[in-house]
Amino acid sequence: MLLCALSPRALATPRPVAYLTWYGQSCFLLESASGARIVMDPVPTNIGYLPPADLHADAVTVSHEHPDHANVALVQGKPRVLRGLTADKKGWMRIREKVKDISVRTVGVYHDRKRGAKLGLSAVFIFETGGVRIAHLGDLGHPLTDRQISAIGSIDVVLVPVGGFETIDAQTATYVVDQIRPRLMVIPMHFRTDAVTIKELSPVDPFVAGRTNVRRAKGNRVAITGLRTKPAAEVVVLDYK
Ligand SMILES: [Zn+2]
């Protein structure tokens, strides 16, 4: 009997409902259990990262149009392109879409603390699949307002910029994560690595310093099961390769 060959541990391990893969800066691939694929904030190839040349997806999301977030040409397979900002970049698109079994919606935010006067607008993208909600905060530049917090709603996994410079820094990122209170996982992004050429970014260390719930993943991919195994959300630091 096949079942008998499985260890009790294997039987107890819940099946992932999604996978996230990091390609550096704010670029992630989300894969649903049924194989739907969305690339978020596609990274350019001139800032030190080497995303795969054959990356393909059903859709691409772009939080805002800065070049380190908007290399749509990276993604093969004629994906649908969901842009967070209007063509003139002065407003937010109100996205409520379905990409196969992934629901996608947006909440408008600013790239700075001056309602966008310095760096413009950005969008938070919220993905829901298999009962799990993932929020990609884009180039968020400020603590969230009560209105933004309630529009973002209940979240399981948050992808949060922590490197400062032109986004929130470690301290504000910690504050924002406390505002969102994700149930399962916090994944830092947009920080200095040994690859990235944007040296003004801070490394991830100040964000993880003093925390006890940090896991440094081996590699760039993490499975999301939807099952809470820790009392508080875990910080998962991915590699970019
Ligand atoms: Zn930006």
Residue 93 lies in a domain: yes
Sign, Cα dihedral of 76, 107, 180, 211: positive
Q: How far is the CA of 202 from the centre of ligand 1 (A)?
A: 15
Query: 93 CA distance to ligand 1 centroid (A)?
Result: 17
The two tokens of residue 236 are: 């998962």
4 in any annotated domain: no
Mean pLDDT by runs of 10 across the 241 residues of the chain is 51 83 98 97 97 97 98 96 98 98 98 97 98 98 98 98 97 98 97 97 97 95 88 94 93
> How high is the pLDDT of residue 230?
79
Question: Measured in angstroms, how far is the CA atom of residue 69 from the centroid of ligand 1?
Answer: 7
Domain residues for the domain of 109 are: 16-237
Q: What's the number of domains the chain is made of?
A: 1
- pLDDT of the residue at 231: 81
What is the predicted pLDDT for the residue at 232?
86
CATH of the domain at 136: 3.60.15.10
Expressed in angstroms and rounded, the spacing between residue 64 Cα and the centre of ligand 1 is: 7
Angle at 210 between CA 135 and CA 113, to 5 degrees: 45
Indicate whether 174 belongs to any domain.
Answer: yes
Whether 2 maps to a domain, the answer reads: no
Q: Is residue 157 part of a domain?
A: yes
pTM: 0.94
CA of 186 to the centre of ligand 1 (A): 20
Q: How far is the CA of 144 from the centre of ligand 1 (A)?
A: 17
Instruction: Say how many Å lie between the CA of residue 184 and the centre of ligand 1.
Output: 26
| Contacts with 64 (C-beta within 8 Å, 6 or more apart), sequence order | 70, 84, 85, 89, 111, 120, 121, 122, 123, 138, 139
